[in-house]
Amino acid sequence: MMNKEQKKNYITEMKEFFNTSDSVLVTHYQGLTVSQLDELRKEMRKHGIMFKITKNRITKLALKDTKCKDLANLFLGPTAIALSKDAISSAKILAKFSKDNKNLKILGGLMGEEILKQEDVLKIATLPTLDEARAKIAAILKAPAQKLLSILLAPGSKIAILALKKSKQSK
């Protein structure tokens, strides 16, 4: 049981988390073992995500003056939240974990200012992360340069053959 001072500290801490996180995903964890929760927390920590079990009544008080106030109706039962700067990574980890562990249920959340339903979180989980998207863009931009370079470095005969083929195509 928390005393008054602990409750005030909890509310202050939670308000700070809600206001500074770009992504807040709400889950139910009933039926998960301690070792499963530890495994999930460990995976989340690797990606800079905080996974925190909440005290619903006090958390609802903390939600009141934050951008997350519309999530209050999700805080019923054994609730835990994933707080992060990257909603896609959070959604991917939670979706993968919930496939393997049916006792973890994604309820919804918030990304930026947008309220998310369970379906929205699962759709976000299919998107590429920022690093994956950057890698794809770099590969697309790099490919034409590599083709041009290979043509320029080819022996003269290959360039002549290529020029001949191009001239026949243009006729």
Q: Predicted confidence band at 2 (pLDDT cuts at 50, 70, 90)?
A: confident
Q: Which residue has the higher pLDDT, 16 or 137?
A: 16
**Cα–Cα distances in Å, from 14 out to 35, 36, 40, 65?**
25, 24, 20, 11
- What pTM did the predictor assign? 0.74
Average pLDDT in the chain: 86
Q: Predicted confidence band at 29 (pLDDT cuts at 50, 70, 90)?
A: very high
For residue 129, the model assigns a pLDDT of 76
Closest listed residue to residue 101, CA positions, set 30, 26, 28, 32: 32
For residue 155, the model assigns a pLDDT of 65
pLDDT higher than threshold 90 for residue 87 = no
51-80 per-residue burial string, b: 16 or more CB within 10 A, e: under 16? beebbeebbbbbbeebebeebeebbeeebb
- ∠ CA 52-126-49 to the nearest 5 degrees? 20
**Superfamily per CATH, domain 4-124:** Ribosomal protein L10, N-terminal RNA-binding domain (3.30.70.1730)
Contacts of 49 (CB under 8 A, 6+ apart): 82, 83, 84, 86, 89, 90, 93
| Cα–Cα distance measured from residue 99 to residue 4, given in angstroms and rounded to the nearest whole number | 39
What residue segments make up the domains of the chain, in order of their start? 4-124, 130-170
| Cα–Cα distance measured from residue 58 to residue 83, given in angstroms and rounded to the nearest whole number | 17
pLDDT higher than threshold 60 for residue 157 = no
| 132: three-class secondary structure by DSSP | helix
For residue 131, the model assigns a pLDDT of 78
Q: Predicted confidence band at 127 (pLDDT cuts at 50, 70, 90)?
A: confident
Side chain identity at residue 43, one-letter code: E
For residue 169, the model assigns a pLDDT of 76
Q: Predicted confidence band at 153 (pLDDT cuts at 50, 70, 90)?
A: low
